A and B are shown apart, each in its own frame.
Chain A
Amino acid sequence: MKLVLSFLLLLSFSCFTVALTSYFSRINAQMTYSQGVFTNLCGTGTAATAHSCNQGCNVKTGSCSAKQATVVKFTCDGKVTDCRNNESSFSTSQSLEGVSCGKTVQLDIFNKVCRTDKGWVCGDRDLQDYLVWYSGDCPAKTSTATTPQVADKNTCDTQQPVAIQFRKSGGSWQSGPSVTAAGITVGEELEVNCFAQNGTKLLPGGTIQVTAPQGKPVTVSSSSELKNYRSFAAGTHSFSCISNSIASCGANDKITIQAAKVENKAVTVNPVKPISGKAIALSSSAPVAKAVPAHESACTGLAIVNGNNSLVPATVKLRASGTDNRGSLQKYRFTFGDGSVVEADKPELDHRYEVSGTFSVRAEIKDSQGNWKGSDACATTVTVKPAAVESHKSACSDLEVTIDNNGQAPATAKFKVSGYDNKGSIQKYKISLGNGTTRESDTQTFEEKYLEAGTFVAQAAIRDSQGNWKEDSTCRKTVYVSTQPLTQQPATGTPTIFTLAGLISGSAGIGIQYWKRRLKL
């Protein structure tokens, strides 16, 4: 019996250990040095993709070394993943030795000395290796302490006044219930601090939430400091600061982010990277993008270069055009109206029609950010003349779907059905909307308002000149009507309480058996 119990106990801990080992091996943030813990390391996070991680930083010795004087040390209060305060001079080696409790230290190795007469001259591509380490929480004050603060409990009263302050990176702090003159435009970096005790300290245990215009509250920082926040929505952003360690303690303030100023001259815009807990050391004097114009792209035209009105089989050359103010167009998609759809890297394409008739042709462009865009300007008609002898051919060739409200329910979808018939005109159009509704019309266009979110398969058909309904796979499209955006990441694991209950019950059961046998009950 003892053997069985021991085996079960061993098995349970093995399983849990396997899972935890897997977990901890992935999360370098849990690695420790001395009494502290690493909160960010080269080799994890977005920043790692831009760096070489040249092994100059050693987590075991808590130091970073380089052959030349290119190592810099930053020290910040509290636990953060990106620290840029109290910059040291550049040297060949820096270590975590002698750091007091409650501090974050960031050691960076660059490929050159970044602090010059012109200010900070390095960017993330110059960063070779880094580590960010938090020295650990300071011990709680005891009643034997002799400082006057002993009697002070960490209540919200001792923290007042609590306020949120904003500044553009490199600018001066501004506060107030509604900051409108901070000079922040969309895409620019914003720093937000949750200050306590009249701006002299950060609020203990603070977290920061933001609600963008027409958005929902989102936690953007698990500390009282927020750096590198960028929003691409102009308008009033509401920030909330809440302390996790002090009951009912926090503040709510707003800031207005202005729309981008579009200049007449060409503006070079660097690619926007996801914001995360990266350790890119930019000082307050680092250059900041001036203004990011809103992304605009469009399909502006579709021309028939040659081949129109030719005898079947006809080769027709088409050329699409489009614009994009942030980069190059990636692809072009041509829907030829005879059931063929082709994606191409170039704007000009030949297509051979094997049947005569009149074809609705359209083009779409894929812009630099991956959006497919069509327009009325990118639609035209190709005519192919019949041969002397040609059998009757007809088909439903295309179903074009556009949907408003960003596809979010309730959303109105517009459908345009196209087809061809080489011996006459199409008599009718029909569409099954995927929600149980079927409509028939003499015209090509249909409209349907989807009140509920869901996935709907729309199937269109045409009735040709001989009265036959033609339904083809090219006239079938899936319409996605989406729900509200996600408010919390869904739970996709075994509830933690179930796991705890399992482990505790196993231990308790084995314990009872053990004592029962020992006491010979």
Chain B
Amino acid sequence: MARPQLPSWILSVISFGLIGFFIIWLTLTYLPVLIVEVKYSSFQLLKSSFGVTDLRSLFIPNFKNLDLQGYSNYQDYGITIPVLNLDEPVVFNVDPNDEQAYGEALKKGIAHASGTSFPDSSGLGYYFAHSSSPELRSQYNAVFYLLGKLKLDDPIYIWQEQKKFKYLVSEIKVTQPEDISFLETEYDNEAIVLQTCWPPGTTSQRLLVFAQRVE
């Protein structure tokens, strides 16, 4: 007895549907990551080859390269990390336990967790942003993808109300999402931690970059 077979066109619809979903996932999740990676690579290439941070400075006379050591486009509320060429706004006092609240904040930039320290005060300030996100609605869905490239003693600057606070990376580690033991620790210096999901494209773990205030 011949086995019943699915018509060929049904198989085609199913397979192309699955491939379509795959392409959508690939585009939504990794296109922003790819853009960030390409920007970072070109930044590194320009810096190492020509000593500049902006391609335009090679062609436009007197073009001033942006120096993120001393400047930010977000001097009221922002974070700059010069080695990553990162300069993004910060939304302070965001409820980290309310997914909707921090979801809105992450569309505007980097979120500062409510209940943790502010710049120029003792304790640990907790800042978090996407390493990837399945939405193409804003530029902020892969802000912290590059955090994994930071090294010990790399500088991080936080700007608040025109004041600049400098921190140096002191520790980098990966933890489980429910591990918040580092919040129980007493820090002998003003400190911050930058957090994002790790590895990019998942929410399985958290990458934490700790930094200590130096200026």
Task: Indicate whether A and B interact.
Answer: yes
- Contacting pair B188 A489 (CB below 8 A): no
* Cβ-based interface call for B210 (8 A): yes
Q: Contact string, B68-103, partner A, CB cutoff 8 A, digits 1/0?
A: 000000000000000000000000110111110010
Verify B21–A488 contact, CB threshold 8 A.
no
Check if B1 is an interface residue, CB within 8 A of chain A. no
The reply on A424 being an interface residue by CB < 8 A is: no
A283 CB within 8 Å of chain B: no
Q: Which residues of B contact A408 (CB under 8 A)?
A: 115
In the complex formed, the residue of B with least CB distance to A498 is B134
Q: Are B148 and A23 in contact (CB under 8 A)?
A: yes
List, in ascending order, chain A residues with CB within 8 A of B173's CB.
Answer: 44-45, 276-277
Tally of B interface residues using CB under 8 Å: 91
Q: Do A15 and B26 touch (CB < 8 A)?
A: yes
A219 to B178, Cβ gap below 8 A? Answer: yes
**Residues in chain A near residue B179, CB distance under 8 A:** 219, 222, 489
Which residues 182-200 of B have a CB within 8 angstroms of A? 182-191, 195-200
Chain A contact patch, size range: 35 or more
Contact A493 B122 (CB under 8 A): no
Q: Interface with B: A137-145, A153-161, A249-257, A508-516, which one?
A: A508-516
Q: Let me know if B156 is at the binding interface, CB within 8 A.
A: no
With contacts A371-B121, A489-B206, A509-B22 taken as known, whether A46 is within 8 angstroms of B171 at the C-beta atoms is yes
Number of A-B contacts (CB under 8 A): 251
Of the candidates A8, A26, A272, A489, which one forms a contact with B186 in the assembled complex, judged by CB atoms under 8 Å apart?
A: A272
Among B19, B93, B195, B204, the residue within 8 A (CB) of A506 is: B19
| Cross-chain contact A486 with B113 (CB below 8 angstroms) | yes
Contact string against B for A residues 363-383, beta-carbon threshold 8 Å, 1 for contact and 0 otherwise:
000010111100000000000
Least CB distance, B126 to chain A, in whole angstroms: 7
Contacts of B118 in A (CB 8 A): 480
Scan B137-165; emit 1 where CB is below 8 A from any A CB, else 0. 00000001000110010000000010000
Interface centre among B114, B172, B183 (most CB of A within 10 A): B114
State the Cβ distance, A501 to closest chain B Cβ, in Å. 7
Q: Is the CB of B196 within 8 A of A492?
A: yes
Asked whether, in the complex, the Cβ of A484 is within 8 Å of the Cβ of B128, the reply is: no
Q: Which of A489-509 contact B (CB under 8 A)?
A: 489-496, 498-499, 501-503, 505-506, 508-509
Q: Please state if B22 and A19 are interface contacts (CB–CB under 8 Å).
A: no
- Whole-angstrom distance between the alpha carbons of A489 and B96 in the complex? 8
Contact with A508, one of B18, B28, B99, B183 (Cβ below 8 angstroms): B18
Q: Closest residue of chain A to B198, judged by CB?
A: A23
Produce 1/0 per residue, A273-312, CB < 8 A to B.
1111100000000000000000000000000000000000
Determine if A15 and B30 form an interchain contact, defined as CB atoms under 8 angstroms apart: yes
Which residues does chain B contribute within 8 Å of A486, judged by CB atoms? 96-97, 113, 115-116, 126, 180, 183
Say whether A487 contacts B185, CB under 8 Å.
Answer: no
Interface check A215, CB cutoff 8 A: yes
Report the Cα distance A484→B178, complex, angstroms: 16
Report the 8 A-B pairs with minimum CB-CB distance, sorted nearest first.
A493-B197, A502-B25, A506-B22, A509-B18, A23-B199, A509-B19, A370-B122, A512-B15
List 19 A-B residue pairs with CB atoms under 8 Å apart, sorted by A's residue number: A15-B34, A48-B152, A210-B184, A273-B188, A370-B189, A408-B115, A483-B97, A485-B116, A486-B180, A488-B178, A489-B96, A492-B203, A493-B133, A494-B28, A494-B133, A494-B197, A506-B18, A506-B26, A508-B18
| Residues of B in contact with A (beta carbons under 8 Å apart) | 5, 8, 11-12, 14-26, 28-30, 33-34, 37, 92-93, 95-99, 102, 106, 111, 113-116, 118, 120-123, 126, 128-134, 144, 148-149, 152, 161, 170-191, 195-204, 206-207, 210, 213
Query: Chain A interface (Cβ within 8 Å of chain B)?
Result: 5, 8, 11-12, 15-16, 18-20, 22-23, 26-27, 29, 44-46, 48-49, 210, 212, 215, 218-220, 222, 230-232, 271-277, 367, 369-372, 408, 453-455, 478, 480-496, 498-499, 501-503, 505-506, 508-510, 512-513, 516, 521
